[in-house]
Chains A and B, each alone.
Chain A
Amino acid sequence: MAVNDSLAALSDSAFTASIVAYSVGVVGFAGEYAFGGRGRIARTSREQTAAGGVGTETVTPVDSGAGQRLGYLGLACTVLGAALQVLSLAFRGIASERVPWGNMFEFASAAVLVTVLSFLWLVWQAPRLRHIGVFVLIPVVFILVYAGLILYADAEPLVAALRSYWLVIHVATVIIASGVFFLSFVLTVLYLLRQRYDRSVAEGGSMPRAIARLGPRLPPAAILDRLSYRTVAFGFPIFTFAVIAGAIWAEAAWGRFWGWDPKETWALIAWLVYACYLHARATAGWKGVKAARINLLGFFAMTFNFLIINMVVAGLHSYSGLT
Chain B
Amino acid sequence: MTETVERLSTAPVPVGPVRRSDSPLAVVRRWWRLLTSMRTALVLLFLLAVAAVPGSLLPQRSLNQSKVSAYFAEHPDLAPVLDRFRMFDVFSSPWFAAIYLLLFVSLIGCIVPRTRLHFRATRQPPPPVPSRLDRLPQAASFERDLSPAAVADAATTVLRRGRWRVVRRRIGDTVEVSAEKGYLREIGNLAFHSALVALLAGLAFGKLNGYEGSILVEEGSGFCNSFQQYDTYRNGPFAEAGDLTPLCADLERFSVDYEDNLTPARFLAELTYTRELGGPASAYPLEVNSPLRTDGIRLYLTGHGFSPRFTITYPDGSQFTDISVPFIPEEQSTLASTGALKLPDRPGAGAGDTQLAIEGFFVPTAASMGDSRLISVDPRPRNPAVAIVVYEGSIGLDSGAAQNVFRLDQRQIERGVLERVDAGNLLVGQSLELPDGTEIRFEGYRQWVALQLSHDPGQLTVLIASAVMLLGLVCSLVVRRRRVWLRCRPADPGAGDEAASRTVVDVGGLARADSGGFSSDFAALVKQFSNHRAGKD
Residues of A213-241 contacting chain B, CB below 8 A: 226, 229-230, 233-234, 236-237, 240-241
Q: In the complex, what residues of A have CB within 8 A of residue B462's CB?
A: 257
Find out whether the CB atom of B454 lies under 8 angstroms from the CB atom of A273: no
Find out whether the CB atom of A52 lies under 8 angstroms from the CB atom of B519: yes
Find out whether the CB atom of B517 lies under 8 angstroms from the CB atom of A53: yes
Q: In the complex, what residues of B have CB within 8 A of residue A261's CB?
A: 63
Find out whether the CB atom of B511 lies under 8 angstroms from the CB atom of A164: no
Find out whether the CB atom of A163 lies under 8 angstroms from the CB atom of B39: no
Counting chain B CB atoms within 10 Å of each CB, which of A57, A255, A323 scores highest?
A255
Find out whether the CB atom of B520 lies under 8 angstroms from the CB atom of A56: yes
Find out whether the CB atom of B14 lies under 8 angstroms from the CB atom of A237: no
Using CB atoms, name the residue of chain A closest to B456: A256
The complex places the Cα of A259 from the Cα of B454 at a distance, in Å, of 13
The complex places the Cα of A273 from the Cα of B70 at a distance, in Å, of 32
The complex places the Cα of A212 from the Cα of B11 at a distance, in Å, of 39
The complex places the Cα of A301 from the Cα of B433 at a distance, in Å, of 60
Instruction: Report the minimum CB–CB distance from B516 to chain A (whole Å).
Output: 4
Find out whether the CB atom of A255 lies under 8 angstroms from the CB atom of B291: yes
Find out whether the CB atom of A233 lies under 8 angstroms from the CB atom of B66: no
Binds A, one of B44-52, B240-248, B346-354: B44-52
Using CB atoms, name the residue of chain A closest to B338: A323
| In the complex, B91 has a CB within 8 A of chain A | yes
Binds A, one of B126-134, B163-171, B257-265, B441-449: B257-265
Choice from B57, B288, B470 contacting A262 with Cβ under 8 Å = B57
The complex places the Cα of A100 from the Cα of B473 at a distance, in Å, of 29
Assuming A160-B264, A262-B57, A320-B67, is B39 touching A283 (CB within 8 A)? yes
Using CB atoms, name the residue of chain A closest to B90: A260
Instruction: Report the minimum CB–CB distance from B68 to chain A (whole Å).
Output: 10
Residues of A240-263 contacting chain B, CB below 8 A: 240-241, 244, 247-249, 251-262
The complex places the Cα of A249 from the Cα of B291 at a distance, in Å, of 11
Which bracket fits the contact residues of B? Answer: 35 or more
| In the complex, B157 has a CB within 8 A of chain A | no
Q: In the complex, what residues of B have CB within 8 A of residue A309's CB?
A: 56
Q: In the complex, what residues of B have CB within 8 A of residue A307's CB?
A: none
Choice from B56, B66, B203 contacting A265 with Cβ under 8 Å = B56
Find out whether the CB atom of A160 lies under 8 angstroms from the CB atom of B265: yes
Q: In the complex, what residues of A have CB within 8 A of residue B452's CB?
A: 255
The complex places the Cα of A230 from the Cα of B517 at a distance, in Å, of 11
Find out whether the CB atom of B263 lies under 8 angstroms from the CB atom of A158: yes
The complex places the Cα of A284 from the Cα of B9 at a distance, in Å, of 13
Residues of A1-21 contacting chain B, CB below 8 A: 1-2
Q: In the complex, what residues of B have CB within 8 A of residue A159's CB?
A: 263-264
| In the complex, A199 has a CB within 8 A of chain B | no
Q: In the complex, what residues of B have CB within 8 A of residue A279's CB?
A: 38, 41-42, 45
Find out whether the CB atom of B49 lies under 8 angstroms from the CB atom of A323: no
The complex places the Cα of A313 from the Cα of B58 at a distance, in Å, of 9
Residues of B231-256 contacting chain A, CB below 8 A: none
Instruction: Report the minimum CB–CB distance from A305 to chain B (whole Å).
Output: 9
Q: In the complex, what residues of A have CB within 8 A of residue B266's CB?
A: 160, 163
| In the complex, A276 has a CB within 8 A of chain B | yes
Choice from B45, B63, B265 contacting A275 with Cβ under 8 Å = B45
Instruction: Report the minimum CB–CB distance from B509 to chain A (whole Å).
Output: 10
Residues of A179-207 contacting chain B, CB below 8 A: none
Find out whether the CB atom of B300 lies under 8 angstroms from the CB atom of A313: no
The complex places the Cα of A284 from the Cα of B3 at a distance, in Å, of 12
Find out whether the CB atom of B470 lies under 8 angstroms from the CB atom of A53: no
| In the complex, B474 has a CB within 8 A of chain A | yes
| In the complex, B469 has a CB within 8 A of chain A | yes
| In the complex, A208 has a CB within 8 A of chain B | no
- The size of the chain A interface, using a CB distance under 8 A, is 65
| In the complex, B306 has a CB within 8 A of chain A | no
Assuming A52-B518, A56-B517, is B289 touching A252 (CB within 8 A)? yes
Instruction: Report the minimum CB–CB distance from A124 to chain B (whole Å).
Output: 14
Find out whether the CB atom of A255 lies under 8 angstroms from the CB atom of B300: yes
| In the complex, B328 has a CB within 8 A of chain A | yes
Q: In the complex, what residues of A have CB within 8 A of residue B45's CB?
A: 272, 275-276, 279
Contact with B along A283-317 (1 / 0, CB 8 A): 11110000000000000010000000100010001
Assuming A56-B520, A164-B289, A255-B291, is B56 touching A282 (CB within 8 A)? no
Residues of B51-79 contacting chain A, CB below 8 A: 52-53, 55-57, 60, 62-64, 66-67, 70
| In the complex, B33 has a CB within 8 A of chain A | no
The complex places the Cα of A164 from the Cα of B330 at a distance, in Å, of 26
Choice from B57, B91, B291 contacting A252 with Cβ under 8 Å = B291
Q: In the complex, what residues of B have CB within 8 A of residue A164's CB?
A: 289
The complex places the Cα of A221 from the Cα of B149 at a distance, in Å, of 43
| In the complex, A210 has a CB within 8 A of chain B | no
Assuming A52-B519, A233-B477, is B265 touching A256 (CB within 8 A)? no
Contact with B along A262-283 (1 / 0, CB 8 A): 1001101100110110011111
Assuming A53-B520, A251-B459, is B290 touching A260 (CB within 8 A)? no
Choice from A163, A237, A252, A282 contacting B473 with Cβ under 8 Å = A237
Instruction: Report the minimum CB–CB distance from B88 to chain A (whole Å).
Output: 12
Instruction: Report the minimum CB–CB distance from A295 to chain B (whole Å).
Output: 13
Find out whether the CB atom of B517 lies under 8 angstroms from the CB atom of A276: no
Contact with A along B123-147 (1 / 0, CB 8 A): 0000000000000011000000000
| In the complex, B267 has a CB within 8 A of chain A | yes
Find out whether the CB atom of A240 lies under 8 angstroms from the CB atom of B517: no
| In the complex, B302 has a CB within 8 A of chain A | yes
The complex places the Cα of A256 from the Cα of B300 at a distance, in Å, of 10
| In the complex, A76 has a CB within 8 A of chain B | no
Find out whether the CB atom of B14 lies under 8 angstroms from the CB atom of A284: yes
The complex places the Cα of A290 from the Cα of B70 at a distance, in Å, of 41
Assuming A253-B288, A313-B57, A320-B67, is B263 touching A157 (CB within 8 A)? yes
A residues with a Cβ closer than 8 A to B are 1-2, 51-54, 56-57, 156-161, 163-164, 166, 226, 229-230, 233-234, 236-237, 240-241, 244, 247-249, 251-262, 265-266, 268-269, 272-273, 275-276, 279-286, 301, 309, 313, 317, 320, 322-323
- What are 29 A-B contacts with C-beta separation under 8 Å? A52-B138, A53-B520, A56-B517, A160-B288, A160-B289, A163-B289, A166-B289, A230-B516, A236-B477, A237-B474, A237-B477, A241-B470, A244-B466, A248-B463, A255-B291, A255-B298, A256-B212, A256-B456, A257-B456, A260-B60, A261-B63, A272-B45, A276-B46, A279-B42, A279-B45, A282-B11, A283-B42, A301-B49, A309-B56
The 9 closest A-B pairs by CB, nearest first: A265-B56, A272-B49, A54-B516, A262-B56, A255-B300, A164-B289, A53-B519, A283-B38, A284-B14
Contacts A53-B517, A57-B519, A249-B289 known; 17 new A-B pairs at CB < 8 A: A1-B259, A1-B265, A52-B137, A52-B516, A57-B520, A157-B259, A163-B266, A233-B477, A241-B470, A258-B203, A265-B55, A265-B56, A283-B14, A286-B42, A317-B64, A320-B70, A322-B330
